[in-house]
Amino acid sequence: MTTPKFRRVFKPKAVKLVTVRDVTVAQTCRDLELAASVLRWWMREAAAPAGAFSGNGQQRADLVEIAALKKKVAKLKHPEKG
């Protein structure tokens, strides 16, 4: 069974039903045919300080920095490669 992919605009709207319109998680899940765990996960993502649903093609700044530092270390270990 594959995991369904949701449109980028669907997630914030589903979260907004619970957080702004005061619809219960259970009712929202029944209406949208979602598992409660999925909606709660989206709610945690939306509340994260990095921004809502930041995993859509954008790396977090700390991960970008770590990748750059790993490249520098590799270059220092093997200067002939690069």
Question: Locate tokens 């589903």: which residue?
Answer: 14
d(CA 16, CA 70): 39
**Could you tell me which of 44, 20, 39, 37 has the C-alpha nearest to residue 28?**
39
Tens digit of pLDDT per residue, the chain (82 long)?
Answer: 565 677 778 888 899 999 888 889 999 999 999 999 999 999 988 887 654 555 556 667 777 888 889 888 888 888 776 5
- Tell me what pLDDT residue 59 has: 64
d(CA 74, CA 80): 11
**Could you tell me which of 8, 3, 23 has the C-alpha nearest to residue 56?**
8
- Tell me what pLDDT residue 39 has: 92
Structural domains of the chain sorted by starting position, each given as residue range(s) with its CATH number in brackets: 10-81 (1.10.10)
Q: How many CB atoms lie within 10 A of CB 32?
A: 14
- Tell me what pLDDT residue 54 has: 54
Does the global pTM surpass 0.85? no
